[in-house]
Structure 1
Amino acid sequence: MSFETDVAQLRASANPQRIDQIAQAFPSPDDIEPWHQLNALLWPDLSENENSRRAQLPAALDEYQDELRRYIRRYDDLRARRLDALSNYDVGIAYRVSGPEVGLADALRAVANHIGCCRAQILWLLGEQDRLAIPQLALF
């Protein structure tokens, strides 16, 4: 039997009700909270010089917002296409023993964690932007 045939059988033997329960148990991406604590190792890499740091912030924010959009697309894809969104490697090797249902739950959990982390990183960047904002002087 070929690997593709094994994977097709694993997908076909998955419990559709359980797959639906798993997908529905995960919240909308809009409801995923940012992490409450962000270890300094996960802070975006910015210059120590405040002027350089200030100049780097817009590009860093764009980068992390793009990353967040990619994670949300992947999360939505997993919730919508379920097992079809998992690779043959995931189904046939990584989750061969524990089952494709566990694979889907683990994938959703992992991407949800990435969304929460990325949101925390964006909030950290916005905080840096506020901290480094040049005060506006009154004109009169």
Structure 2
Amino acid sequence: MASTSDHPVKLLGIRDTPLSVDEVFRAVGDDAAGGTALFVGTVRDHDGGAAVTRLAYSAHPSAEAELRRVAEKIAADHSVRALAAVHRVGDLEIGDLAVVVAVSCPHRAEAFAACRKLIDDLKHEVPIWKHQTFLDGTEEWVGAC
């Protein structure tokens, strides 16, 4: 599948609706790419040894702009042919997709490196916060400053 534009950032979003691995994978299709790396983050049933019963993500109004900044930097610093990243907000259930990112590059090593950097920078720099409720009734905010 050929890329639809020369710009490597194809799909970005902060969404309150379910995410699609297929949509993200299709977005990074490029005939010049020899490697595509995809990461899917799911809601797990535990954290730090404690059982998680509920989870919600919220985002600062600047989150999409920060996601774009992160994506543009990854595209500029790596041999990226196409890049896509979507993150979910709102109430999620165990097993739901929380984040899906993908990168296609000329070679697999580049794709792995760029995808790893994309998810790491997204988690560290984009203002999205996780609120977890544990089985014992305690709560925790993750990523909130």
- The verdict on a shared fold, with TM-score over 0.5 as the criterion, is no
User: For this structure pair, what is the TM-score category when the shorter chain's length is used for normalisation?
Assistant: under 0.3
Structure (1 or 2) with the larger CA radius of gyration: 1
Q: Output the TM-score relative to the length of structure 2.
A: 0.27
Higher helix content, 1 or 2: 1
Q: Output the TM-score relative to the length of structure 1.
A: 0.28
Higher RCO (Cα < 8 Å, 6 or more apart): 1
Higher strand content, 1 or 2: 2
